[in-house]
C-alpha cells in the first residue's frame, strides 16, 4: 500500500544516564499524512498521575533535538497512550517520520525512556527540547543581544536558556517536580484525602505482562528493531566455574577469526542439560525457528571462558527485533550461514554453565 508504513520498536528505561531493562514497546503506523504512535510500557514502581511527554528526535551536531508529539498521564506502573501527528511534519517542526532517529518519553517524576531505530546510542545528557522559536531567524526583530535580553527580562522569560537545556538538566528539573508532587500526596493522605488520580484509578486496569507484549508484537509487527547494538565482542561477564562435559558435536570455529573456541553444534533439548536456568530456551520460539531452518544451534566459549548460545539466522531489522525480544541481543556474521540477498550469522547471548 503506497504511503503506508508500520513498525514496532522496543523501549528501554535509562537510569542515571545508562541504559537499563526493557519496559515495553511503541507501535508506529503511518498512513498517507497521518502518523499514529501507540505507547505500551510497564514500569515497576511507577506512580500514577505524572505527566509524560513523548518526543520524536533528530540528531543534530551530536545532540538529540526532541520534537514534542504529545503527552499523557501515567497510570499505576504503566504508560499507555495513543498520539497522532503529521507524517511529513512531526510536531509541526518540519521534520518527517523518515528523518527521526527514534522516540523519547520523559515524565515529570524523572523517568526517561527511549527507543532508537538509526543504530546510534541514546545518551540522555545529549537531549534538548526543540522549541518552535528556534526555527525563526535570529535577527527577525533586528535586535542586538543586549536588547533581546532586556526584552526577555521584562517578560520574565529567557528562551535562549530554555533551548540550551540538556537531557541531564531536564531530568534534574523533572525529579524536583516529582519530589514536590510526592510531598503534596503525603500531605493529602495525612488529611484523609487521596490525590485525584487515585480516585480515578480503576481496579479493572490491568498491567500487561511481558508474555502478553510478546504475543501482541508477534501478531501485529511487520518490521521492527531492538536497541542493544549488535557487535562481535559485547561486554563480557566474569569467567565461570569449571563444569561437566558438554553435549553436542564438536565443530570448527564457524567465524574463522579465532575469537570463539570449543565450538559445538547442539539441539534445543541440550539447553536444559547445560543448566536448569537455560531450560527456557528449549521452548523459545526464536530458538526453534533457527533450529528448524538450519538444523543446529551453536555453543562456544570466548577468551575469558564465558559460554555463548548462538541461533543461526539473518540480519535484518525484523530479525533484530525478534532476536532481542527473545533474549539474543548480539549478532556475529558467519560465512557458513547463507541468506539470499542478506547477511547470515548467529544471534547469541551469554549463558551460565
The closest alpha carbon to 102, from 192, 288, 227, 229, belongs to 227
Exposure pattern of 197-209 as b/e (b: 16+ CB <10 Å)?
Answer: beeeeeeeeeebe
Please give the pLDDT value at position 252: 92
pLDDT, tens digit (0-9, with 9 covering 90-100), for 154-193: 545 444 344 444 555 655 665 666 566 556 555 544 444 3
Whether the model clears a pTM of 0.75, i.e. scores above it, the answer is: no
Please, where in the chain does CATH 2.60.40 lie?
4-130+163-220
Please give the pLDDT value at position 282: 64
The closest alpha carbon to 301, from 227, 225, 240, belongs to 240
DSSP-derived letter for residue 237 is: P
Please give the pLDDT value at position 283: 65
DSSP-derived letter for residue 304 is: T
Residue that has been written with the C-alpha cell 548480539 in this structure: 330
What residues pair up with 348 in beta bridges, in sequence order? 310, 330
Give CA separation, 321 vs 36, 230, 257, 272, in Å. Answer: 20, 11, 26, 25
Residue that has been written with the C-alpha cell 524536583 in this structure: 176
Residue that has been written with the C-alpha cell 541481543 in this structure: 329
Please give the pLDDT value at position 154: 54
User: Which residue positions in the chain have pLDDT lower than 70?
Assistant: 1-3, 133-244, 275-283
Q: Are 254 and 336 in contact (CB under 8 A)?
A: yes
**CATH of 4-130+163-220 among 2.160.20, 1.10.4160, 3.30.70, 2.60.40:** 2.60.40
Distance CA 133, CA 156 (A): 16
Q: Output the furthest CA–CA distance in the chain (Å, rounded).
A: 79
Q: How many CB atoms lie within 10 A of CB 41?
A: 25
Distance CA 35, CA 211 (A): 27
The closest alpha carbon to 271, from 313, 232, 323, 310, belongs to 310
State how far Cα 352 lies from the chain centre.
25
Give 272's contacts (C-beta < 8 A, 6+ positions apart).
278, 279, 282
Amino acid at each position: 500500500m503506497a504511503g503506508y508504513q508500520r513498525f514496532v520498536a522496543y523501549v528501554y528505561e535509562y537510569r542515571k544516564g545508562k541504559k537499563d531493562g526493557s519496559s515495553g514497546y511503541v507501535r508506529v503506523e503511518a498512513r498517507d499524512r497521518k502518523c499514529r504512535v501507540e505507547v505500551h510500557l510497564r514500569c515497576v514502581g511507577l506512580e500514577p498521575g505524572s505527566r509524560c511527554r513523548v518526543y520524536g528526535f533528530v540528531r543534530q551536531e551530536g545532540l538529540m533535538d526532541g520534537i514534542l508529539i504529545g503527552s499523557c498521564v501515567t497510570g499505576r506502573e504503566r504508560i499507555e497512550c495513543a498520539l497522532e501527528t503529521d507524517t511529513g511534519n512531526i510536531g509541526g517542526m518540519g521534520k518527517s517520520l523518515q528523518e527521526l532517529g527514534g522516540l523519547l518519553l520523559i515524565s515529570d517524576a524523572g523517568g526517561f525512556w527511549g527507543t532508537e531505530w538509526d543504530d546510534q546510542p541514546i545518551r540522555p545528557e545529549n537531549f534538548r527540547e526543540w522549541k518552535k522559536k528556534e526555527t525563526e531567524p535570529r535577527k527577525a526583530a533586528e535586535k542586538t543581544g543586549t536588547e533581546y535580553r532586556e526584552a526577555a527580562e521584562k517578560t520574565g522569560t529567557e528562551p535562549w536558556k530554555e533551548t540550551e537545556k540538556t537531557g541531564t538538566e531536564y531530568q534534574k528539573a523533572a525529579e524536583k517536580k516529582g519530589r514536590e508532587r510526592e510531598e503534596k500526596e503525603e500531605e493529602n493522605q495525612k488529611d484523609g484525602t487521596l490525590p485525584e488520580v487515585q480516585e480515578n484509578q480503576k481496579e479493572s486496569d490491568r498491567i500487561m505482562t511481558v508474555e502478553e507484549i510478546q504475543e501482541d508484537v508477534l501478531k501485529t509487527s511487520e518490521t521492527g528493531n531492538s536497541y542493544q547494538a549488535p557487535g562481535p565482542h559485547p561486554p563480557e561477564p566474569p569467567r565461570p566455574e569449571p563444569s561437566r562435559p558438554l553435549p553436542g558435536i564438536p565443530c570448527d570455529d564457524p567465524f574463522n577469526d579465532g575469537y570463539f573456541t570449543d565450538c559445538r553444534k547442539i539441539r534445543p533439548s541440550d539447553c536444559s542439560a547445560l543448566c536448569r536456568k537455560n531450560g527456557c530456551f528449549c521452548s523459545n520460539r526464536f530458538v526453534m525457528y533457527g533450529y528448524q531452518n538450519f538444523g543446529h544451534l551453536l555453543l562456544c566459549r570466548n577468551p575469558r571462558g564465558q559460554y555463548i548460545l548462538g541461533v543461526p539466522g539473518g540480519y535484518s531489522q525484523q530479525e533484530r527485533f525478534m532476536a532481542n525480544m527473545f533474549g539474543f541481543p548480539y549478532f556475529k556474521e558467519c560465512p557458513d550461514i547463507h541468506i539470499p540477498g542478506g547477511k547470515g550469522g548467529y544471534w547469541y547471548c551469554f549463558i551460565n554453565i
